[in-house]
Amino acid sequence: MKKIIKILDTFFNNKTIKNLVIYGITLLIFHITSEGINSLVVKYLTMNQNSLIKTPEILVFSVFGITFIYIIYKLVLKKYQLSSVVSHSIFSVSILYLIARFTNYSNGWLFISFNDKGIKYIDFIGLIFLVSTLIIVILFIIKSLSKEKLLDVKNPFVSDDPILSKSEDKLNYQKRASDIISYLERSSFNNSFTIGIVGPWGNGKSSLIGLIE
């Protein structure tokens, strides 16, 4: 009995399982209330077809392109960490987009065509959320694998001691140390003077001093 309870504890306390249950409940509610949701969308969230069609295509592509580049810049290049609320919101919108766009749940909705190739205006928004979801999932997998590798290491901790030699200088502080030494050698003061080395904790101030010494 204790083994069964332990297995159930592990299963239900798993973060992934909890998220899947929440998404399952959300989809069930969406199934049950789909008619009411459709009515609300048709009444309050749909745009006038003529107004949207009159929008210049270059403007649509420009907004989509800039948004797409911004997402790549923020999530991939800058490695911005989204909060769990934002991440789950993006996942949820992506799922609802796929359901509404490619199933009968779109009954009563008017997906306005962008051109004659089957592309709808809603697809520009949907693609943004789908790409964001894909990037978040890939980054999550990479981060999880990195954690596993770290746990496999016998000693995963890194010393916070300042470096003692040039061979340990991984941040190329030696160049900065040489510049300060060169300045000191060229300078002459009648009175005492002070050099301030300013930086946040762990930035390598002691290591720089060691290199200068």
List per-residue pLDDT tens for the chain, 213 residues long.
778 887 877 777 777 788 888 888 888 888 888 888 888 887 887 777 788 878 888 999 999 999 999 999 999 998 888 888 889 889 989 988 898 888 877 777 778 888 777 888 999 999 999 999 999 999 888 887 776 665 555 666 666 788 877 888 888 888 889 999 998 888 888 888 888 888 888 788 888 988 888
| Cα–Cα distance, 100 to 180 (Å, whole number) | 64
3-state secondary structure of 120: strand
Tokens of 132: 């964001």
Torsions phi, psi for 134 (to 5 deg): -60, -45
User: Can you give the pLDDT at residue 18?
Assistant: 80
User: Can you give the pLDDT at residue 43?
Assistant: 80
Domain boundaries, the chain: 33-152, 166-212
User: Can you give the pLDDT at residue 69?
Assistant: 95
**Three-class HEC string of 69-135:** HHHHHHHHHCCCCCCHHHHHHHHHHHHHHHHHHHCHHHCCCCCCECCCCCCEHHHHHHHHHHHHHHH
The rounded Cα 80 to chain-centroid distance in angstroms is: 5
User: Can you give the pLDDT at residue 150?
Assistant: 59
User: Can you give the pLDDT at residue 62?
Assistant: 94
pTM of the full structure = 0.61
User: Can you give the pLDDT at residue 157?
Assistant: 67
- Cα–Cα distances in Å, from 3 out to 6, 7, 14? 5, 6, 17
